[in-house]
Amino acid sequence: MSKIIAFTNQKGGVGKTTSAANIGAGLARAGHRVLLVDLDPQVNLTHGLGLLDAEFNVYGALLHEYKVKAYPIQERLALIAGSPTLSSFEKVKGDELDREFLLKDLLEPLHERCDYILLDCPPALGLITLNAYACATDLYIPLEAQLYATEGLEKVLEMVARVKRRLNPGLKVGGIFFTRFDSRKVLRRETAEVVRDKYPDLVLTSTIREAIALGEAPHLGQDIFSYAPTSAGAADYETLVKEILTR
């Protein structure tokens, strides 16, 4: 049975998609069979891994227009493509019975083929994100250590509590980790300490430093390990993957 991890934050631009791609690639490098699922209408995960013209995507599969299709990205790593039309998912499926479990039903047949299924959620707490929370075993929350960062975090944790009560009792927050972290900046250090003090059991030791290579890699359709294996970004994500594997 695979472990389903959702990467989520109500705030955009926190490195959520970058983390999903590189943690997925890191898990695959460690020998695990990994499936990535792009649930963000911006489709940055899909395009950032070099899949530009996918004929089949998660939205069409959710609407039962065709069977779900996983595209191979590299050895032990595959991707279910996203689609801009995911933005209309709530409008199309919002009145359907058991609408919160559509993604869970879609992924059910794939469990035996994967060790990990990683969900890249949109930066909003709508029906798509609710579907991700309803089928996930763990949530990981990437966070920038800056002003107002904790506001989005608290909204995510509130939604997690509601989902645990009503839809998915087994859901847990695997951890919070800081992205684009620069320890030289006082505000970043102080904000990180505030979050660590408030959520001591949730904040991971690993942090992802600000790194140019992490922004360059998706433009070439690559993860950080393929693009710049000796970079700070690759080192940070390798450390983060090891920590996730221990939780």
CB neighbours of 234 closer than 8 A, spacing ≥ 6? Answer: 213, 224, 225, 228
Tell me what the mean pLDDT of segment 81-90 comes to: 97
Phi/psi for 51 (5° steps) reads -100, 100
**CATH number where 171 lies:** 3.40.50.300
Using pLDDT thresholds of 50, 70 and 90, give the confidence band for residue 7. Answer: very high
Number of domains in the chain: 1
Rounded Cα–Cα distance for residues 162 and 175 (Å) = 18
pLDDT tens-digit readout, 172-192: 999 999 999 988 888 788 889
Q: What is the mean pLDDT of residues 85-105?
A: 95
DSSP three-state, residue 121: coil
5, with CB counted inside 10 A (0-12, 13-18, 19+), is buried
Alpha helices in 108-176 (DSSP H): 127-135, 149-166
| Res. 128 pLDDT band, cuts 50 70 90 | very high
Q: Mind giving me the DSSP string for 18-61?
A: HHHHHHHHHHHHTT--EEEEE--TT-HHHHHTT--S-SS-HHHH
Question: Which H or E run includes 209?
Answer: strand 203-209
Q: For 127-149, what is the mean pLDDT?
A: 92
Output the pLDDT for position 145.
83
Report the share of the chain in percent with pLDDT over 70: 100
Its domain, for residue 198, covers 3-245
* Longest pairwise C-alpha distance within the chain: 51
Between the CA atoms of 166, 169, 96 and 118, what dihedral angle is there, to the nearest 10 degrees?
Answer: 140
3-state SS, residue 74: strand
